Amino acid sequence: MGPTSAVAAASGAGTSGADARGRAPGRGRRTLAVAASVALLLLVVGASLAFGVRQIDLGVVWQSLVAPVDGDADHRVVLELRVPRTLVGLLAGAALGLAGTLIQGVTRNPIADPGLLGVNSGASLAVVIAIAAFGVVDPLGYIWFAFAGAAAAATIVFAIGHGQPVRLALVGAALTSLLTPLITVVLLRDAETFNQYRFWAVGSLTGRGLETVQVLWPFLLVGGVLAVLLAHRMNLLALGDDVARGLGQRVGTTRALSGAAIVLLCGTATALVGPIALVGLVVPHAARRLVGSDYRWIIGISLALGPALLLAADVIGRLVVSPGELEAGVVAAFIGAPVLIAVARGRRVAGV
């Protein structure tokens, strides 16, 4: 098999996104899928700005964005509460979607998500330490601890796992098993730490202002750019290490750069919204269904599907228990659980 045919095989053959004849979706279908995903994202953004305990007409939302009126209560709700919340969802959702795609590609594991690499546990332990040892209670204060903990956990896993798919999964599981009891010990000994931690650990878009976004968006930008640049390399990596090396790819470099991107993306998302589970699992699978196994398309569509899913979970959480609120992390788990069960039961999921 020559380089051209090998890359073509990595980009389209045998995926869950293929048609009944086994061929990858054509460019027209892929373009339509991307356009539909962007339209869905715009729709969900509008819902995020309009729906909640206080229902606001879309016309009023638009006016508050382009010509806000001082003293108008609806305009204040949109600008001071819902715009920051929506921006946090956009950034965190994009980060989770891209991170899940890279993790599944690097580990060739169809049920991999940021939690597989111990990211959630690392961030959680760091937040617990910040609250218990340093008295940090403000989200803007402990995002740095969350980011550092997530980054440290992912770095340790990649360093010990040496980029080998099975070893990465095993090391990630072992690290999670090690850190979880430590977190529990601290929480059981300090009720105040538990009270502060539980609001972050459940996964929510609330309580994060624009200042948090301003602090963390550069990390997401760097991680996102790395993910886009790695898309072609991920196609070759999907063929297996030996084939990728035969086609001239430096597999170790690819995995190292992927690890750096995963650290930045996972750290940003976990610091922003807490350890939200299963978004990084669902988005890559949905993307493959729509555009096939070409990572250039998967990564592009994940940029829209990730935030669309997270914001949709947030909007649903506002509506189902109104006038109360169900955290986005809880809703996302309900959405992602059926996908995880389907994969675990052996449904055909290719391209991973």
Cα Dmax for the chain? 68
pLDDT tens digit sequence for 300-350:
999 999 999 999 999 999 998 878 888 998 999 888 888 777 766 755 444
Q: In this predicted structure, what is the pLDDT of residue 49?
A: 94
Give 3-9+25-114+204-344's CATH code, choosing from 1.10.3470.10, 3.30.465.10, 3.40.50.150, 3.50.50.60. Answer: 1.10.3470.10
Q: How far apart are CA 296 and CA 275, in angstroms?
A: 27
Predicted confidence (pLDDT) at residue 22 exceeds the cutoff of 50: no
3-class DSSP state of 59? helix
Q: How far apart are CA 345 and CA 333, in angstroms?
A: 18
Please identify which residue in the block is written with the tokens 């111990």. 118
Predicted confidence (pLDDT) at residue 20 exceeds the cutoff of 70: no
Between 201 and 174, residue with greater pLDDT = 174
Total-model pTM: 0.86
Q: How far apart are CA 315 and CA 173, in angstroms?
A: 32
Q: In this predicted structure, what is the pLDDT of residue 298?
A: 95
